[in-house]
A and B are shown apart, each in its own frame.
Chain A
Amino acid sequence: MCLGIPGQVVEIVDPDEHLARVDVSGVRRIISIKLLAEQDVVPGDWVLVHVGFGMAKIDEREAQLTLDQVQKMGQDYLDEIDMFKSTDVGDGISA
Chain B
Amino acid sequence: MKFVDEFRDPAAARALVKSITEIAGDTEWKFMEVCGGHTHTIYRHGIEHLLPENIELVHGPGCPVCVIPMGRIDDAMWLADQPDVVFTTFGDMMRVPGSRGSLLDAKARGADVRFVYSPLDSLKIAVENPDKHVVFFAVGFETTVPSTAVTLLRARTLGVKNFSVFSNHVTIVPPIKAILESPDLRLSGFLGPGHVSTVVGIRPYRFVPEVYGKPVVVAGFEPLDILASVHMLLQQYADGRCEVENQYARVVRPEGNTAALKLMAETFQLRPHFEWRGLGFISQSALKVHDDYADFDAEVRFSMPGVRVADPKACQCGEVLKGAIKPWECKVFGTACTPETPIGTCMVSPEGACAAYYNFGRLHRETALMVGQGAPVG
A binds B: yes
Binding site for B on A (CB under 8 A): 1-4, 31-32, 34-38, 48, 50-53, 55-56, 58-59, 62, 65-66, 68-69, 72-73, 76, 79, 83-84, 86-89, 91, 93-95
Which candidate, B12-20, B144-152, B283-291, is the interface stretch facing chain A?
B144-152
Query: For residue A48, which residue of chain B has the nearest CB?
Result: B251
Can you show 11 pairs from A to B with CB atoms below 8 A apart?
Answer: A1-B139, A50-B143, A55-B195, A58-B250, A62-B250, A72-B44, A84-B117, A87-B118, A87-B121, A93-B127, A95-B150
Q: In residues 49-96 of chain B, which contact A (Cβ within 8 Å)?
A: 64-65, 90-92
Whether the Cβ atoms of A56 and B121 lie closer than 8 Å is no
Residue ID in chain B nearest A59 by CB atoms: B250
Contacts of A86 in B (CB 8 A): 116-117, 121
Chain B residues near A4: list those with CB within 8 A.
195
What CA separation (Å) do A18 and B135 show in the bound complex? 24
Binds A, one of B173-181, B206-214, B256-264, B361-369: B256-264
- Chain B residues near A69 (CB-CB < 8 A): 8, 221-222
| Pair B36/A2 contact, Cβ less than 8 Å | yes
* Chain B residues bordering chain A, tally (CB within 8 A): 53
Alpha-carbon distance A34/B118, docked complex (angstroms): 14
How far is A94 from B8 in the complex, measured between Cα atoms in Å? 37
- Name the 8 nearest CB pairs between A and B, nearest first: A52-B118, A95-B154, A83-B117, A89-B120, A87-B117, A93-B124, A53-B147, A56-B198
- Taking CB as reference atom, which chain A residue is nearest B349? A1
Report the separation of the CA atoms of residues A68 and B40 in the bound assembly, to the nearest whole angstrom.
16
CB <8 Å contact, B121 and A89: yes
Assess whether B124 is in contact with A53, with CB atoms less than 8 Å apart. no
Is B150's CB under 8 angstroms from A34's CB? yes
Residue of B119, B143, B250 touching A55 (CB-CB under 8 A): B143
B187 to chain A, nearest CB (A): 22
Partner of A56, one of B8, B64, B151, B257: B257
Residues on B with beta carbons closer than 8 Å to the beta carbon of A84 = 117
A83 to B143, CA, bound (A): 18
- Inter-subunit contact B349/A52 (CB<8 Å): no
Instruction: Specify which chain B residues have a CB less than 8 angstroms from the CB of A48 in the assembled complex.
Output: 195, 198, 251
Do the beta carbons of A38 and B251 come within 8 Å of each other? no
